[in-house]
Amino acid sequence: GQQVMQIPQYQHVQEGEDFTTYCNSSTTLSNIQWYKQRPGGHPVFLIQLVKSGEVKKQKRLTFQFGEAKKNSSLHITATQTTDVGTYFCAGLRSNYQLIWGAGTKLIIKP
Amino acid sequence: EAQVTQNPRYLITVTGKKLTVTCSQNMNHEYMSWYRQDPGLGLRQIYYSMNVEVTDKGDVPEGYKVSRKEKRNFPLILESPSPNQTSLYFCASSFLGVGSYEQYFGPGTRLTVT
């Protein structure tokens, strides 16, 4: 079953507000990847984190990997309509199996 | 253009009728995998392959078969489809080794089993 818990399942924000999604694994991960899936589309790779405590930024997106390599977060500052979609984390196990979170859907309130 | 292709994109079939969904990549990737995506459950890995003739079960392999006879192709076979296999299926590929394991996804195959 699912071994990477991702919360929340949905997040409704006003345009311009911040958004955060969290992933927690029951086991230590070799790395963690983040993907974005637009409605009707396929997942698209955003970033990979490998080192304990790593923080990476992509413009308004900030990604963190926990010290124990069991948790991660994605934070978007000042959301825009182009950020709409579902964000997934995926943890790589030592046997190269990828375990995915259930995703967080970002919805911009009209 | 670097890409992962899947065929067919849409398929409606009946219980028990064997089917194959093809997946092909042109990036010389070692790693290929199949996922199913169901609402609220995210992506669940069915099978993955780290190279030709090497395949491993993912989280939900029951009812599926795969083969990896060539590096570029990784077909998904449903020998006797059942309604609970109605889902959106994605094939993905990546390099395997030091560095990024960025997964490149195909466009998806929406399967309905009646």
Per-residue pLDDT of chain A (110 residues; tens, 9 = 90+): 558 999 999 999 999 999 999 999 998 998 999 999 999 999 999 999 999 999 999 999 999 999 999 999 999 999 999 999 999 999 988 777 888 999 999 999 98
Cα distance between the two ends of chain B? 36
Question: In a mutagenesis test of the B interface, which of A4, A51, A97, A98 is the best target, namely the one with the most B β-carbons within 10 Å?
Answer: A98
Percent of chain A with pLDDT over 90: 85
Please check whether residue A35 is in contact with residue A43, taking contact to mean a CB–CB distance below 8 angstroms.
yes
Residue B70 exposed, middle or buried by CB count within 10 Å (0-12, 13-18, 19+) = exposed
State the smallest CA–CA distance between residue A110 and chain B in angstroms: 23
**How confident is the model over B10-59, as pLDDT tens digits?**
999 999 999 999 999 999 999 999 999 998 888 999 999 999 999 999 98
Does the distance separating the beta carbons of A1 and B59 come in below 8 Å? yes
- Residue A101 pairs with which residues in a beta bridge? none
Does the distance separating the beta carbons of A88 and B43 come in below 8 Å? yes
Angle at A88 between CA B93 and CA A53, to 5 degrees: 100
Does the distance separating the beta carbons of A33 and B48 come in below 8 Å? no
Q: Say how far apart CA B95 and CA B28 lie, in whole Å.
A: 8
- Residue A100 CA: distances (Å) to CA of A61, B5, B77, B106: 20, 22, 23, 17
The residue written with tokens 């308004």 in the block is A60
Give the SS3 label for residue A82: helix
**How confident is the model over B68-81, as pLDDT tens digits?**
999 999 999 999 99
Does the distance separating the beta carbons of A97 and B58 come in below 8 Å? yes
- Per-residue b/e over A9-27, b at no fewer than 16 CB within 10 Å? eebebeeeeebbbbbbbee
